[in-house]
Every structure is written in C-alpha cells, then in structure tokens.
Amino acid sequence: MARDVSDTTPIGARSELVEWIAEGEKPRETWRLGTEHEKVPFYKADASPVPYNGGKGIRALLEGLQGRTGWEPIMEDDHPIGLFDEEGGGAISLEPGGQFELSGAPLKTLHETAQETAKHLDDVKIIGDTLGIGFLTLGMSPLWTRAETPVMPKKRYRIMTNYMPKVGSRGLDMMYRTSTVQVNMDYGSEADMVKKLRVSLALQPIATAIFANSPFTDGKPNGFLSMRSEIWRDTDRDRTGMIAFAFEDGFGYERYVDWALDVPMYFVKRDATYHDVAGASFRDLLAGKLSQLPGERATRSDWANHVSTLFPEVRLKRYMEMRGADVGHARHIVALSAFWAGLLYDEAALDGAWELVKNWKPEQREQLRADVPKLALKAQVAGRSVQDVARDALSLSREGLKRRAYLDGAGQDETKHLVYAEEIVASGRTPAERLLERYHGEWGGSVMPAFRECVF
C-alpha cells in the first residue's frame, strides 16, 4: 500500500463501516483492473542487498525515478518512501525489506496492464542501471538471511516488526523476504461481491500453484515450490487464511466487517504520528474506549488503514484483492491479471467457476491451501489434481476474455496474455520446478545464477 488514507471524517457506528465497503460498488462499465507487483532489488556487482541510504541505495533509486517519471514523492519525515501519479493513479512504494512495488493504476484492459508493466520495468531498469541495481523475478529472496536484509524507514513497519513474532513464526520472513503479484478487481453489488469472493477464495490456491516461483531460501532449496505461500500459513492466523465464513449462508458486507472488527489493530495514525496499539480492538476505538489513546474516536482513515492490514487470501476493501501468487517476469505478472479478469469479469465464466468449486467442503479448501505450497499442480482437491482444476479454470478464463473482446492495435484479444499460464499447466511444470531443475543441473547447486537469469 503506497499511502495511508487521509480522511478524518468521524465514524460513530458499525453501520458506517458497512456503508464504507458498500461504497465500492460500481456499474459493470466502470470495472477496472489494478495490478500490483513487488520485486527484490540487489547490487549486480556482488548480488548483495540494497540498503535505503547511500548514494546508490533505495532512496537514490526513488529520487531517480521521480526525475524520470515526474511522479510526486510520498514522504515520511524527511524520507521519500514512495511515488504517486496524481493523474493516472499509480504508485510506487517500499515493502519492509526494500522490495520495490508498483501499485498499478485502475485500467480497463489487459493490454493496458501489459503496457503499464513494461513502461514501469523500463523506468526502473534505466535508473537501476545507473546505480548498479537489478531486480529479481522471484517470489522470495533466494540468498540473504533475514539479518542480512535491509530495513526501510517506515514507521508502520516498525510496529509490525515488533508485533509479528508474538502471533506467528514466519511474519518477519513475510515482511522482509517475499515478493508477490496481486490483482485488484471491482464488484457491482453485495451479491456480486459474495459470488466473486467465494470463487476467488476457492481458486486462490490454484493460482498459487500455477505461478509458484519461490523455491530457494538462504542459498538453497527450501523444500517448497511456493515458500512465499507457505510463510503466510504461519504469519498471523487472526488476519490471514481462507476465511471459511465467506461460504456461510447470509455472508455479506456485515459479516466481513464483524470479522475485521475482531482482528487486532496495529496502529492508529494521528497527523504524522503512528501510535502503536498492536493487539488492541477496533471496537474499542469505535466506542472511544481505546486505553492507549483515551478519548480518541475512530475516523474513516482509521478504518481504511485497519482494513489494509488484514491479509486473507482475498481481501475485501472497496474493491477485491487477489493475493495468492508469487511474482515473476512481466508475462507472469500480466498472466495472473488475465486469469482473474477472464473468470470474474464475465458472467458466464464466473458461473462456470462457481460450478467448479461449489461442492468443495471447507476441510477440502483448507487442505488444498495447505498442500499447494509444496505440491503445486500435483496437489489434489475433491478427488481431482490441481493441474486438472487449473486446466478447467483457464479454459473458463479464456472464454471470458474472448467475450470481453478487447483488441490491441494488432487486432489480438486479451487471451494472448493467458498463454503463459496455459503453457505452465499444459506442461505440469511450475516456474519453481524449472528453476530447481536448473539448480540441480547447469547451476551446479548454486543460487548465484539466479542473479543473472531471474531478473527483470
């Protein structure tokens, strides 16, 4: 998230929190895609991590990009911590370990997404080259220990860093060493949101399997194909996971709000100050009874910021975030957006996807989520292989993209952006498995070649 929300409108009742989410409803003709991806920077000379400060650090990278793009700096104290495109709506932000994130603008077509991704990567490579910095196309930092990983000067991350070890064993790895790609999507009504959330939750492990790309940690294979996904399983169970309640009768905005209210807070921001209230209840803030900030009452900013610190496999805000995939190269990034756009933005494809998953039992969805980080396409669900389910989901997505019928300048529709994922599923070999073959083959048991070959 590039910037914390700034809206001091007071909130006095739970119903206003529900209304805040409902305000995200949009008519179909205005639905857009927002694609976000993170990437780990490194010094090309010696494959070492890039600190924030220094003449060739992350700060210099941000300042160089500001000059190239004309985007406005996002400041915290005297530190630039991101950039924002006031006109288009895109942003660049820093994850805790220096992972460099593009939060893409809301765009109508996948062709625009591909162009945006290519333009951003050109920009960061041009500035990065002047500083000797490259960027990895892997879902987890493959070499450095957590202690060797730099720390970015963002106050909210300090609070999270202190809190994470209290609620799980892998939260700091999630913060400092992983990189993801996610897709943000719109909904038209509460019923539309419910249907999309259920389908995308059930299929999120399928996306994890297709795009699995984080098989190395601390310089060696880690035993998983998506270690990034496995890390999330022991990060903070209060705010992560498959949120099984979304499949219960009567689920809607109110039930999601009630869950969010029960997730412990991280911070309350007042002006430029982040007040550490980690573990506290938003219900207390709503009632003006938060012991750490006596008399303070909740604002719309507080709610928006709190909702942004929930990390289920699909997150609901005033849009929906698909959160299940490791990052990869440019085709990989756009293919994930294509997968979800074809499924969720075409009614027939969405109906077909629901038929695909509607009979899965809660325990089957949970087992699928547990198995996929290690087994990927070889995992099973409801008596079928994930590879077979993925093949069916991709077929539905392809037909959905055809019906969207958005053509590029060469007259090609959006299905061209799905081909990368289709090739993976047809072969049965994930990006991670291909990397492991190289590690045990021409790489000679070293991850160092990744810093030459797995780069943007």
How many other CB atoms are found less than 10 A from the CB of residue 409?
A: 6
pLDDT at position 399: 98
pLDDT at position 316: 98
In 345-430, alpha helices (H)? 347-357, 362-375, 386-404, 419-427
CB-side exposure of 96: number of CA atoms within 13 Å?
20
CB-side exposure of 371: number of CA atoms within 13 Å?
16
Pairing of strands 384-385, 220-221: unpaired
Give the length of the chain. Answer: 456
pLDDT at position 6: 74
CA distances from 348 to 163, 342, 415 (A): 44, 10, 16
Token code pair at residue 106: 């809301």
pLDDT at position 3: 61
DSSP 8-state assignment for residue 278: T
How many other CB atoms are found less than 10 A from the CB of residue 272?
A: 9
Q: Which residues, given as ranges, of the chain have pLDDT below 50?
A: none
Token code pair at residue 416: 């061209």
What does pTM read for this prediction? Answer: 0.97
